[in-house]
Structure 1
Amino acid sequence: MTDEEKAQQAARTRSKLMEGLARAERALFTRPAPKSPRAQMKFLRTREKGSTKSLAERLGVSRKTVQRYLSGASTKPNKRLKEALVQETESEWQPQVRARARQRAASSGGMVISCRAYFGFGPEGTSDAGRVRDISVAVSASHAAAILAAQEDGATQNDLHDAVAEAIADTYFRQSGGGRAGLEVKFADVEWLNITF
């Protein structure tokens, strides 16, 4: 595998991890987030204290573009603007609900990680040989805190991947230190990943 292929694979894994965390947060919302571009623009403008200029800078578009969506003159954003609207709206929507759930996960509740990925740790030809596995595991609050802190701090692909891999490995394969404490686990080729708080 070339360095470029490894980088692409790492980027896909990070994307799946971030999507899994975003889905977990969306599931906590007590009210649905705004769906239409106009409603999203209106909501984000309130978060920017009514400033269309700062909203335009935040979204990477012109002030005139923001005004067209607010007035209803434009209704179909291009792909980049649509993704920015969804991402920014979800990042600002119900911050207290998200903060309480994150705090609970990091202090007492932990989180459940379900995934289909390649896990390997033993020599070939043994029952422990690496293979694709479907795993669903409840990770401890300390592991949840490490994953959430890495996400909030804008962790690199490797840091976030390592935090999730360590949580799964410690809980599922090492059973929190019992018997297989020094076991090295390889976590790669994530096909899907879901997280719930």
Structure 2
Amino acid sequence: MGTLGDGLDQAVQKAFTRPIPKSAGAQMRYLVKQHKGRTKAVAELLGISQRTVERYVKNQIKKPRKDLAARMETEVKKRWQPQIRAKAKERAATATGIIIDTRARLGYTAPIGSTDQDRIRHLTVALPPQYAARLFDAQEAGANDQQLQQIAAEALKEVYFQDNGRRAGQLEEVRFTNIEHVDFEL
């Protein structure tokens, strides 16, 4: 995934009520359980042999390589507490919205004579629930980072630049590029 997709995943992970399994064996057992006991599927997912998966399950191997440990942790986090994850997304999409904290180059297209020059800005903005819903729906539909960036730009246009319709009514397009950092909070 990309910068925005990873940020959305991390925001949802903050809602977890229990930590993910810590040991390599426990993580591997969890992944095998999620794949209905098929060690071959887990091996293909992680890019290792089926026998290696079986060794981790039996605690014959306890210390994975750094790259494998990172892949295991990522895959466990993707599947961990799906009901908690769904409730957090639902709450953000219907009631609370989502907060975006970003440092990026922002500019806009506006009538001649306005100060529409792109510049680096640090913004922390509370986005309404409909934009949280659009971001999560697009992410689940497999949207790439560019598409998520476009949705975030539309949200920033409405909420930050136009102040929910109270100013800058002639603003046409907001450019949201060169993202240095982005963080979301539910």
What is the TM-score with the length of structure 2 in the denominator? 0.89
Contact 2:139 2:148 in 1 (8 A): yes
CA separation in 2, counterparts of 1:62 and 1:181? 59
In structure 2, runs of 5+ residues without a counterpart are none
Distance in 2 between residues matched to 1:118 and 1:91, nearest whole Å: 30
Return the letter of the residue paired with 2:167.
G
CA distance in 2, matches of 1:82, 1:179: 50
Offset at 1:156?
2.1
The answer to whether 1:53 aligns with 2:53 is: no
Q: Deviations over 1:91-119 (max 9, x none)?
A: 11111111001011111211000111111
The alignment covers a number of residue pairs equal to 184
Q: Tell me how far apart the structure 1 counterparts of residues 138 and 174 of structure 2 sit (CA, whole Å).
A: 20
Q: What are the ranges of 5 or more consecutive residues in structure 1 without an aligned counterpart? A: 1-13
Equivalent AA in structure 2 for residue 187 of structure 1: F
Taking only aligned residues, the RMSD between alpha carbons, in angstroms, comes to 2.1
SS at match of 1:121: strand
Tell me the CA shift for residue 182 of structure 1.
Answer: 3.9
Q: After TM superposition, give the deviation of residue 71 of structure 1 in Å.
A: 2.1
Instruction: Specify which of 157, 164, 179 is matched with residue 176 of structure 1.
Output: 164
Within the candidate set 135, 157, 170, 2:123 is matched to 135
Residue type at the aligned position of 1:56: A
Kept after mapping to 1: 8 A contact 2:5/2:145: no
Q: Does 1:112 align with 2:95?
A: no
CA contact (8 A) 2:104 2:179 kept: yes
TM-score by length of 1: 0.84
Q: Does the alignment pair 1:162 with 2:172?
A: no
Q: If each structure's helix is expressed as a fraction of its own residues, which one has the higher value?
A: 1
Distance 2:144 2:6 in 1: 15
| Structure 2 Cα separation of the partners of residues 30 and 160 of structure 1 | 27
Is 1:147 aligned with 2:135?
A: yes
Q: Secondary structure at the match of 1:190?
A: strand
Aligned mates of 2:40, 2:127 — CA distance in 1: 43
Determine the C-alpha separation between the residues in 1 that align with 2:113 and 2:167: 21
Residue by residue over 1:164-197, the C-alpha shift from the partner in whole angstroms, topping out at 9 and shown as x without a partner, is 2211222111222333234221111111111011
Q: 1:188 aligns with which of 177, 180, 185?
A: 177
In structure 1, the partner of 2:4 is: 17
Q: Distance in 2 between matches of 1:196 and 1:68?
A: 38
1:113-171: CA deviations, max 9, x gaps? 01111111268996553211110011011111110011111102321111122112221
Residue 79 of structure 1, CA deviation: 4.3
